[in-house]
Amino acid sequence: MKRLLCLLLLSQFLPFASMHAQSGGADLQKSLVNAYEIWRGAMMKGDAQGWAGSITQYRQVVVRNQIVSEKRRFPDAVFETGVKPPALDGLRLLEAEAVGKTAHLVYFGPVDMGQDVEKLPDSLLKLKFGFENGGWKYDSNRFTSLDHVPEVRKSLQEGKRPDFLDSPEYTPPGALPPVPPLCRVPDHKAGYKLQSFGYETRVRMNGFTSEPVEDALDQQIITGGLVNGANEITLITRPVPPPEGQKAALQIRVYKLAQEEGKPGVEVFRWEAPEGIAPREITLPFTVK
């Protein structure tokens, strides 16, 4: 989880630039690189105000909620990372593209995020941006290793344009997600384990709803954690065909999690649906001491 947060954090206002001017090419590239460098400078200096001003509102709240839910100090924990924001020097730009109020830069080359290796392999780095308050702001990044597709790496090393740049995955979505609410400051860091077979299940707690889970096991940190006293969790289900040879099953377990790495959590609540008759929606109250 900590590593995931670090990668997300590799996620000031810029001079005014109209959407018309951000149609692609050198102008767009310059604006996006400038936005990234402002954010990267704030990260390298541990500048909380600069970080908040250079990142999208959506990502700022997502990062804040994750840190608070893990019972760590915000914004201090933003800078407590062993992963450094990579410099763009030495990387080859594959694409600068904007769609609506979203954009990205895609780079290829040795991406240095502080890995302790003698030689960095050539990889992909996608930097994502959002257009807010008259300028582009950094949002997040995605690092992709090419170790499992050496033919793609070889083609890129030969200077060829990759076909994957035309795929939906490498097309900016056009709009940023809505900014989530600020979660409460919990008494306890917490998580749940969900078993959902024969159902598509969403979990709602503290005003936040998870992505649906279908015919799978899932575990998540609870945004907003647990408080001493009354808590409740809601399951929203839809029947689906279970995997072949398996009966429908729905179970949720809620845990208080230790702050120290490696220490086991303590189960505080468990509920299991009667076989084959899970309700479409059920709210389950429980008490934490």
Q: What is the pLDDT of residues 84-124, one digit of tens each?
A: 999 999 999 999 999 999 999 999 999 999 888 889 999 99
Measured CA to CA in angstroms, residue 252 lies from 1, 255, 282 at distances of: 20, 10, 12
Confidence of residue 31 (pLDDT cuts 50, 70, 90): very high
Query: What pTM value is reported for the model?
Result: 0.87
Average pLDDT over residues 134-152: 97
Quickly count: other Cβ atoms within 10 Å of residue 137's Cβ. 26
Q: What is the CATH number of domain 2-170?
A: 3.10.450
Average pLDDT over residues 228-252: 96
Average pLDDT over residues 122-132: 98
**Is 274 in a helix, a strand, or coil?**
coil
CB-based contact 215:248 (threshold 8 Å): no
The segment(s) of the chain belonging to CATH 3.10.450 are: 2-170
Average pLDDT over residues 180-193: 98
CB-based contact 279:265 (threshold 8 Å): no
Average pLDDT over residues 131-149: 97
Q: What is the pLDDT of residues 262-279, one digit of tens each?
A: 899 999 999 999 987 899
pLDDT higher than threshold 70 for residue 7: no
- CA 215/CA 92 separation, integer angstroms: 41
Mean pLDDT for the chain overall: 91
